[in-house]
Amino acid sequence: MEGGVSFGLIVGISLGLVIGVVLAISALCCFTYHSKRSQIANSASRRTATLPIRDNGADSCTIMSDSTLAPDSPVKSSTNGRSLWLDGFTKKSNVVSASGILEYSYRDLQKATCNFTTLIGQGAFGPVYKAQMSTGETVAVKVLATDSKQGEKEFQTEVMLLGRLHHRNLVNLVGYCAEKGQHMLIYVYMSKGSLASHLYSDKHEPLSWDLRIYIALDVARGLEYLHDGAVPPVIHRDIKSSNILLDQSMRARVADFGLSREEMVNKHAANVRGTFGYLDPEYISTRTFTKKSDVYGFGVLLFELIAARNPQQGLMEYVELAAMNAEEKVGWEEIVDSRLDGRFDLQEVNEVAALAYKCISRAPRKRPNMRDVVQVLARVVKVRHSRKRQKMSSSPYPCLPTVESSGEQTGNRSVRSENYRRDNSMESSIVED
């Protein structure tokens, strides 16, 4: 009897162990199964967040190239490698970078620039092309020269800086491309080109004195924003006429932030960077670039606007000779661009030249800040408009614009009308400010 009980006990224990092992294996399988399901669900949610939204089976944005995306990205293009279209708009799956600027594909820009044949400029960074996007927007594409080592750093600087800088007097960055070994920056297209081209190219009519003052005020406002509006403040470090671009309405914007630095970071540089002739002497000797260094460059630019002569043409020597005969706000008319043929306001010339001379003081502490510069230039423009209103109110025909010189040719009518529209636009903007 005892033998039977022992046998039954052994059998029961054995069965219990077998059942326990089976249950343990089953539990392990269930845990593994649910774990995989959870991973799949998480992967699906990430894919959903990254994939373009679909309407009736069509992508609302177009995937142009797999190589635009990170290797492990779940976003892929169509199987035949071609882009997808919706309502005639090419909308690549723009990847929003950490800077907040949209990334475009190489193929997108290749098509928009007719295979990079629409060259409109050439700088130290590389060539600049005009691009007609499929959306109808016209942009400028700046391509980093492949042999430019410093350009790589400047490319990263511009993307990161312009991702957070937004002002009507700065050239806005639309997007960028970093693909196929190429680095490109996409900007709003400035149809009137650079200030330098208008000052020195025979293709353009000479800028009127009025326009030169408006351009100076636009640039000053852009720099004031960089110095006092941006957080942290930004120092441009390369203010010059070729880095000032003009839009269809001849409004000026500051461009080319490749050498820019946030004021709190990297104030010291081992090598002198910038354009000789515009460089602050204090910076050259100390290698320390400050806001007042930008003020110096702006002072040189003001004299460039007055004289239509750049530092490579002996501008600063020309200015110093004039300063020996000038007394603060008197006597600066001898350096005025001869192409203006006397069509300028003498009081304004002297006031602006005196301001410019303060900006290029060798002692940085004696230079005004950009906020003070803006106030002086804005006051010049306001006084001008006050005089014009008084003159028009006293005229028997107040609705007719006055002609500055009876010797002007008919061919300049379009220039005068453009200036007249610009005057009205500037007056309204001054009232707003």
Distance CA 133, CA 111 (A): 8
pLDDT in tens, 353-369: 999 999 999 999 999 99
77: confidence class by pLDDT, cuts 50, 70, 90:
very low
Query: Per mean pLDDT, which of 6-15, 363-372, 389-398 is the most reliable?
Result: 363-372
Does the structure show a pLDDT above 90 at 295? yes
Q: With beta carbons less than 8 A apart as the criterion, state whether 81 and 62 touch.
A: no
At which residue do the structure tokens 């928009």 appear? 112
pLDDT, tens digit (0-9, with 9 covering 90-100), for 301-327? 999 999 999 999 999 999 999 998 877
pLDDT attached to residue 357: 96
φ/ψ of 66, rounded to 5, equals: -60, -35
Please check the confidence at residue 2 and state whether its pLDDT lies above 70.
no
The mean pLDDT value of the chain amounts to: 75
Confidence label for 333 from pLDDT (cuts 50, 70 and 90): very high
Q: Alpha helix (H) ranges present in 250-290?
A: 281-286
Instruction: Please tell me the pTM assigned to this model.
Output: 0.69
Mean pLDDT of all residues in 11-28: 77
Same fold for the domain at 58-188 and the one at 195-432?
Answer: no
Q: In this predicted structure, what is the pLDDT of residue 88? A: 30
Give the model confidence (pLDDT) of 215-270 as tens digits. Answer: 999 999 999 999 999 988 999 989 999 999 999 999 999 998 766 666 644 445 55
Predicted confidence band of residue 167 (pLDDT cuts 50, 70, 90): very high
Per-residue pLDDT reduced to its tens digit, 117-134: 999 988 767 889 999 998
* C-alpha 374: how far from chain center: 21
Q: What angle do CA 357, 358, 363 make, to 5 degrees?
A: 115
Class of domain 195-432: mainly alpha
Active site residues: 238
Q: Token digits for 7?
A: 């046998």
CB 275 within 8 A of CB 238: yes
Q: What is the mean pLDDT of residues 178-190?
A: 88
Angle between helices 209-224 and 291-307 (to 10 degrees): 170
Burial of residue 99 (number of CB atoms within 10 Å: 0-12, 13-18, 19+): middle
Handedness of CA 63, 68, 74, 80 (dihedral sign): positive
In which band, very low, low, confident or very high, does the pLDDT at 397 lie, cut at 50, 70 and 90?
low
- Rounded Cα distance, 259 and 235, in Å: 9
The residue ranges of every structural domain in the chain are 58-188, 195-432
Average the pLDDT over each of 96-105, 120-129, 377-386 and give the range with the smallest value: 96-105
Which backbone phi and psi does 104 adopt, to 5 degrees? -115, 155
Report the range of poorest mean pLDDT among 30-39, 124-133, 273-282: 30-39
Overall fold of domain 58-188? Phosphorylase Kinase; domain 1 (3.30.200)
Label residue 170 by pLDDT band (50, 70, 90).
very high
Spatial separation of the C-alpha atoms in residues 243 and 185, rounded to whole Å:
15
